[in-house]
């Protein structure tokens, strides 16, 4: 599966800790992320992560384009709902695209844990039919 990671500044540490905890599951999948988030997670976990620009420089739009082409199977987007960002309209665009393409998305750690456990159980294998190119790393 192709998994994308995005985190607002105040949630980067939480997403990094999440990825450390679930590194064993994530290591079986292709992961991409916005620049800073990807670097932090890669440094902490040793996972191979395809990194885009930082979110404020367009990395979130790069991931949105993959979502729009239905090339992302799962999005972990740890958002800070209490501190709006100037580029927040992009956040809503990404979430809308996930809805359009039926891409599972988690915006907080509770939902992310549910999705990652479902991923491990095979509950998201239907995405391989929708996106046959995604596959799993072997």
Q: How many angstroms from the chain centroid is the CA of residue 74?
A: 6
Q: Is 98 helix (H, G, I), strand (E, B) or coil?
A: helix
In this structure, what token pair is assigned to residue 82? 């209490």
Q: Exactly one of 43, 60, 91, 99 is catalytic; which is it?
A: 60
In this structure, what token pair is assigned to residue 38? 């990807």
Q: Which helix (H) or strand (E) holds 31?
A: strand 30-33
Q: Between the CA atoms of 19, 101, 58 and 92, what dihedral angle is there, to the nearest 10 degrees?
A: -90
Is 60 tagged catalytic? yes
The CA distance from 103 to 70, in Å, is 8
Residues classed as catalytic: 60
């Amino acid at each position: 599966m192709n998994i994308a990671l995005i985190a607002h500044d105040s949630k980067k540490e939480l997403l990094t800790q999440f990825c450390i905890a679930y590194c064993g599951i994530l290591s079986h999948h292709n992961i991409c992320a916005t620049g800073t988030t990807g670097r932090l997670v890669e440094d902490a976990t040793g996972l191979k992560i395809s990194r885009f620009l930082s979110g404020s420089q367009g990395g979130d739009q790069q991931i949105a384009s993959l979502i729009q082409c239905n090339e992302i199977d799962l999005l972990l987007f740890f958002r800070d709902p209490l501190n709006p960002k100037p580029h927040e309209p992009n956040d809503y665009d990404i979430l809308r695209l996930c809805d359009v393409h039926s891409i599972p998305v988690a915006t907080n750690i509770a939902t992310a844990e549910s999705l990652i456990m479902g991923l491990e159980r095979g509950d998201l294998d239907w995405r391989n039919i929708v996106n046959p190119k995604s596959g799993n790393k072997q």
